[in-house]
A and B are shown apart, each in its own frame.
Chain A
Amino acid sequence: MNSRELMLLRLNASQTQEVGATPYGMLSIFPVTGGSFEGERLRGKVLAGGGDWVARKADETLELDLRVTLETDDGALIYMTFTGLRDDAHHYFRTLPRFETASAKYAFLNRLLAVGIGEIRADGPVHIIEEIL
């Protein structure tokens, strides 16, 4: 399968909210306070207010459910979500981002599927996001 670079996304999170054992697993909420994204076709900052709802399942893998708002350097707002899977035992951290925008310039985002490769770095998570061609 072919893909094309879309963006590098960096997220900053504040203190984790440990909800605890729910019927769906151990739920942790990571509030997103900001961040940045950069690619050939778009760049800008992550607005505060989003978060990642992370459930640890019985097989010790993490199910991710992220929602954030991106603001491009020219003022467009883009709603981004992803679901994903993080399996630290197998060094596997992959996400499936989706985008919604009303901006005609960035409307191509409404029509693509993407995959993300996640990394946990010292200053927070980084996602390398590629468009599926």
Chain B
Amino acid sequence: MNTRPLMLLRVNVTTPQNIGTAPHGTRRIVPISGGVFEGPRLRGTVLAGGSADWLLLRSDNVLELDLRVTLQTHDGALISMRSFGLRHGPPDVIAAIGRGEPVEPATYYFRTTPRFQTAQSTYGFLNRLVAVATGDRRPEGPIYTIHELL
């Protein structure tokens, strides 16, 4: 798998909305209040509103992530990003994340697969790529290191 860096995305999370036990698993929605992204080809901020991560804890203790964020570049373009992801690891590591403690990202699996949509031709290349990301769940919100899949 060949990749090249696309951006580092930091999102800030607010109080989770705990939906509770649904037929597919335990559903939690984490609204995103903002954030920043920066890479060689684009940089800007994450918009609040419409940006959140819809989490589903499955019966096999794998957390499914369904992130949607709106990115605004420094020159005013809007980019819709969606990514599906999985997070799982040893119980003590996952429990530490749950308590809001900083955890070494190499000790658990946190990977996502972002896709992008934009109408701005400057950033049209984003419409034509598939990306992969590693996540680092910090107490203030996750940091995603996103790579273009070449």
A113 pairs with B113, CB closer than 8 A: yes
User: Would you list which residues of chain B between 104 and 138 have a CB under 8 Å from chain A?
Assistant: 109, 111-113, 115, 124, 127-130, 132, 134
Q: How far is the CB of A117 from chain B (nearest CB, A)?
A: 8
B88 pairs with A132, CB closer than 8 A: no
B109 nearest CB neighbor, chain A only: A111
Whole-angstrom CA separation of A12 from B40 in the bound complex: 40
Q: In the complex where A111-B88, A113-B112 touch, is A59 in contact with B132 (Cβ < 8 A)?
A: no
Whole-angstrom CA separation of A61 from B115 in the bound complex: 14
Q: How far is the CB of B68 from chain A (nearest CB, A)?
A: 15
Determine whether B86 belongs to the interface, using a CB cutoff of 8 Å to chain A: yes
Q: How many A-B residue pairs have CB under 8 A?
A: 57
Which of B3, B86, B128 makes the CB contact (< 8 A) with A112?
A: B86
B149 pairs with A115, CB closer than 8 A: yes
A93 nearest CB neighbor, chain B only: B130
A92 nearest CB neighbor, chain B only: B128
Q: In the complex where A96-B113, A113-B111, A132-B111 touch, is A90 in contact with B128 (Cβ < 8 A)?
A: yes
For A76, the chain B residues whose CB sits under 8 A away are none
A85 nearest CB neighbor, chain B only: B130
Whole-angstrom CA separation of A85 from B117 in the bound complex: 12
Residues in B lying within 8 Å of A, measured CB to CB: 1, 3, 60, 62, 84-86, 88, 109, 111-113, 115, 124, 127-130, 132, 134, 147, 149
Which 5 pairs between the two chains have the least Cβ-Cβ distance?
Answer: A3-B1, A94-B130, A96-B113, A113-B111, A87-B128
